[in-house]
Structure 1
Amino acid sequence: MEKDKKLILYDILLVILSLYLALLLRFDFRIPIEYMEFFKLSIIPAVIINLFFNKIFHLYDSIWKYASIEELMSIVYSVSLSNVVLLIYSYFINYKLLETRYIRFPYGVHVIFWLLSVVTLGGTRFIYRIVEEMNSDKGNGKENKKLLIIGAGDAAALLIKEIKRSNNLNYEIVGLIDDDPCKKGKHISGIKVIGGRENIVDVCKENKVEEIILAIPSVDIATKRNIINICKNTNAKLKTLPGIYEIIDSKFSMNKIRDVNIEDLLGREEVKLNNDNINKYIKDKVVLVTGGGGSIGSELCRQIAKFNPKKLLILDIYENNAYDLQMELNYNYPNLNKEVIIASIRDERKLGEVFEKYRPEVVFHAAAHKHVPLMENNPAEAIKNNVIGTYNVVKCSHQFGVKKFVQISTDKAVNPTNIMGATKRFCEIIIQAFDTISDTEYVAVRFGNVLGSNGSVIPLFKKQIAHGGPVTVTHPEINRYFMTIPEAAQLVIQAGAMAKGGEIFVLDMGEPVKIADLAKDLIRLSGYQPDVDIKIEYTGLRPGEKLYEELLMNEIALTSTEHDKIYIEKPAGNSIEFVEESIKEFKDVVYKDNEEIFKLMEKKVPTYTRKIN
Structure 2
Amino acid sequence: MQETILSWSRSRKRMVVMALDAVLALVSMWLAFTLRLDALHWPMGAEWLAYAVAPALALPVFFRLGLYKAIFRYTGVASILATGRAVALYGFALCPLVWLLFHWEGIPRSLIVLQPLLFLILVASSRALGWQWIASRTRLLGTPLLIYGAGIAGAQTAAALSGTHDYALVGFVDDDLQKVGRTINGVKVHAYAETAVVVARYRVTDILLAVPSATRQRRNQIIERLQSLPVRIRSLPGLADLASGRVTVDDFRDLDLDDLLGREPVASRPDFLAGALAGRVVMVTGAGGSIGSELCRQIAREAPSTLLLVDHSEYSLYKIHHELEQWALGGGLGMTLVPVLCSVCNLQRLESICEAHSPQVIYHAAAYKHVPMVESNPGEAVINNVLGTLNLARAALKWGVDSFVLVSTDKAVRPTNVMGATKRIAEQILQSLAACETDPFDERSSSSGKKTRFSMVRFGNVLGSSGSVVPLFRAQIANGGPVTVTDPEVTRYFMTIPEAVQLVLYAGAMARGGDLFVLDMGAPVKIVDLAKRMITLSGRTVRDEFRPTGDIGIAFTGLRAGEKRFEELLIGDNPMPTEHPRIILAREEFVEWPLCSQRVQRLLEAARSGERDAIVDALRTLVPGYMARPAAGRTDTVAQQPEVALARH
Q: Same fold (TM over 0.5)?
A: yes
Q: What is the alpha-carbon distance in structure 2 between the residues aligned to residue 516 and residue 136 of structure 1?
A: 39
Larger mean CA deviation between 207-216 and 116-125 belongs to: 207-216
- The residue number in structure 1 matching 2:224 is 229
Larger mean CA deviation between 304-313 and 261-270 belongs to: 261-270
Q: Quick check: 1:586 aligned with 2:603?
A: yes
- The residue number in structure 2 matching 1:384 is 383
Deviation at 1:298, TM superposition (A): 0.9
Q: Quick check: 1:513 aligned with 2:511?
A: no
Q: Quick check: 1:460 aligned with 2:472?
A: yes
Secondary structure, aligned partner of 2:512? coil
Q: 1:206-221 maps to which residues of 2 (within 5 A)?
A: 208-221=203-216
Larger mean CA deviation between 156-165 and 296-305 belongs to: 156-165
Quick one: which amino acid aligns to residue 221 of structure 1?
A: R
Secondary structure, aligned partner of 1:488? helix
- CA deviations over 1:142-165 (Å, ceiling 9, x no partner): xx5453443333333334444454
Secondary structure, aligned partner of 1:312? strand
Quick one: which amino acid aligns to residue 346 of structure 1?
A: C
Deviation at 1:40, TM superposition (A): 5.3
Q: 1:283-362 maps to which residues of 2 (within 5 A)?
A: 283-334=278-329, 336-362=335-361
Q: How many equivalent pairs are there? A: 597
Q: Quick check: 1:112 aligned with 2:114?
A: yes
Deviation at 1:30, TM superposition (A): 10
Quick one: which amino acid aligns to residue 302 of structure 1?
A: R
- The residue number in structure 2 matching 1:566 is 583
Alignment partner of 2:543 out of 510, 525, 530: 530
- The residue number in structure 2 matching 1:407 is 406
- CA deviations over 1:177-233 (Å, ceiling 9, x no partner): 32223333333344434432x665565456654333333322222232233234333
Secondary structure, aligned partner of 1:269? coil
- The residue number in structure 2 matching 1:82 is 90
Contact 2:258 2:265 survives alignment (8 Å): no
- The residue number in structure 2 matching 1:492 is 504
Deviation at 1:56, TM superposition (A): 3.5
- CA deviations over 1:315-345 (Å, ceiling 9, x no partner): 1111122222223223333255312211110
Distance 1:400 1:530, change over 3 A: farther
Q: Quick check: 1:147 aligned with 2:157?
A: no
Contact 1:137 1:164 survives alignment (8 Å): no
Larger mean CA deviation between 446-455 and 315-324 belongs to: 315-324
- The residue number in structure 2 matching 1:64 is 72
Q: What is the alpha-carbon distance in structure 2 between the residues aligned to residue 362 and residue 583 of structure 1?
A: 25
Larger mean CA deviation between 349-358 and 467-476 belongs to: 467-476
Secondary structure, aligned partner of 1:424? helix
Quick one: which amino acid aligns to residue 3 of structure 1?
A: K
- CA deviations over 1:290-332 (Å, ceiling 9, x no partner): 0011110111112222222222211111112222222322333
Distance 1:209 1:426, change over 3 A: same
Distance 1:135 1:356, change over 3 A: same
Q: What is the alpha-carbon distance in structure 1 between the residues aligned to residue 622 and residue 40 of structure 2?
A: 110
Deviation at 1:408, TM superposition (A): 0.3
Contact 2:432 2:592 survives alignment (8 Å): yes
Deviation at 1:504, TM superposition (A): 1.7
Quick one: which amino acid aligns to residue 244 of structure 1?
A: L
Distance 1:516 1:103, change over 3 A: closer
- The residue number in structure 1 matching 2:15 is 5
Q: Quick check: 1:597 aligned with 2:643?
A: no
Contact 1:317 1:344 survives alignment (8 Å): yes
Deviation at 1:51, TM superposition (A): 3.4
Contact 2:542 2:554 survives alignment (8 Å): no
Q: Which runs of 5+ in 1 are unaligned?
A: none
Q: Which runs of 5+ in 2 are unaligned?
A: 1-10, 438-449, 545-549, 632-649
Quick one: which amino acid aligns to residue 429 of structure 1?
A: Q
- The residue number in structure 2 matching 1:157 is 155
Q: What is the alpha-carbon distance in structure 1 between the residues aligned to residue 200 and residue 127 of structure 2?
A: 40
- CA deviations over 1:25-45 (Å, ceiling 9, x no partner): 345459999x974x5556666
Quick one: which amino acid aligns to residue 218 of structure 2?
A: T
Distance 1:29 1:216, change over 3 A: same
- The residue number in structure 2 matching 1:547 is 565
- CA deviations over 1:554-597 (Å, ceiling 9, x no partner): 34232132x23222224355433344333322322213422222
Deviation at 1:68, TM superposition (A): 0.8
TM-score (norm 2): 0.84
Q: 1:120-199 maps to which residues of 2 (within 5 A)?
A: 120-139=122-141, 145-169=143-167, 171=168, 173=170, 175-196=171-192
Quick one: which amino acid aligns to residue 64 of structure 2?
A: I
Secondary structure, aligned partner of 1:182? coil
Distance 1:62 1:362, change over 3 A: same
Alignment partner of 1:242 out of 220, 237, 245: 237
- The residue number in structure 1 matching 2:5 is none
Contact 1:361 1:403 survives alignment (8 Å): yes
Secondary structure, aligned partner of 1:282? coil
Distance 1:121 1:540, change over 3 A: closer
Distance 1:470 1:259, change over 3 A: same
Deviation at 1:407, TM superposition (A): 0.9
- CA deviations over 1:333-360 (Å, ceiling 9, x no partner): 3255312211110011111111112221
- CA deviations over 1:439-487 (Å, ceiling 9, x no partner): 2222111110000212222223333334443333222111000011111
- The residue number in structure 2 matching 1:367 is 366
Quick one: which amino acid aligns to residue 130 of structure 1?
A: Q
Quick one: which amino acid aligns to residue 118 of structure 2?
A: L
Q: What is the alpha-carbon distance in structure 1 between the residues aligned to residue 245 and residue 573 of structure 2?
A: 49
Q: What is the alpha-carbon distance in structure 2 between the residues aligned to residue 374 and residue 10 of structure 1?
A: 71
Q: What is the alpha-carbon distance in structure 2 between the residues aligned to residue 82 and residue 209 of structure 1?
A: 46
Q: What is the alpha-carbon distance in structure 1 between the residues aligned to residue 40 and residue 532 of structure 2?
A: 79
Contact 1:240 1:258 survives alignment (8 Å): yes
Quick one: which amino acid aligns to residue 518 of structure 1?
A: L
Secondary structure, aligned partner of 1:454? coil
- The residue number in structure 1 matching 2:484 is 472
Distance 1:537 1:89, change over 3 A: closer
Secondary structure, aligned partner of 2:608? coil
Larger mean CA deviation between 471-480 and 50-59 belongs to: 50-59
Larger mean CA deviation between 335-344 and 512-521 belongs to: 335-344
- The residue number in structure 1 matching 2:634 is none
Contact 2:146 2:204 survives alignment (8 Å): yes
Contact 2:487 2:558 survives alignment (8 Å): yes
Quick one: which amino acid aligns to residue 302 of structure 2?
A: F
Identity %: 37
Contact 1:200 1:230 survives alignment (8 Å): no
- CA deviations over 1:31-76 (Å, ceiling 9, x no partner): 999x974x55566665555334323321111112111111111111
Secondary structure, aligned partner of 1:409? strand
Secondary structure, aligned partner of 1:234? coil
- The residue number in structure 1 matching 2:640 is none
Q: What is the alpha-carbon distance in structure 1 between the residues aligned to residue 42 and residue 169 of structure 2?
A: 56
Distance 1:235 1:132, change over 3 A: closer
Deviation at 1:137, TM superposition (A): 4.1
Deviation at 1:606, TM superposition (A): 3.2
Secondary structure, aligned partner of 2:574? helix
- The residue number in structure 2 matching 1:274 is 269
Secondary structure, aligned partner of 2:528? helix
Distance 1:394 1:594, change over 3 A: same
Secondary structure, aligned partner of 2:81? helix
Secondary structure, aligned partner of 1:556? coil
Distance 1:210 1:52, change over 3 A: closer
Contact 1:242 1:256 survives alignment (8 Å): yes
Secondary structure, aligned partner of 1:591? helix
Deviation at 1:118, TM superposition (A): 0.8
Deviation at 1:235, TM superposition (A): 2.9
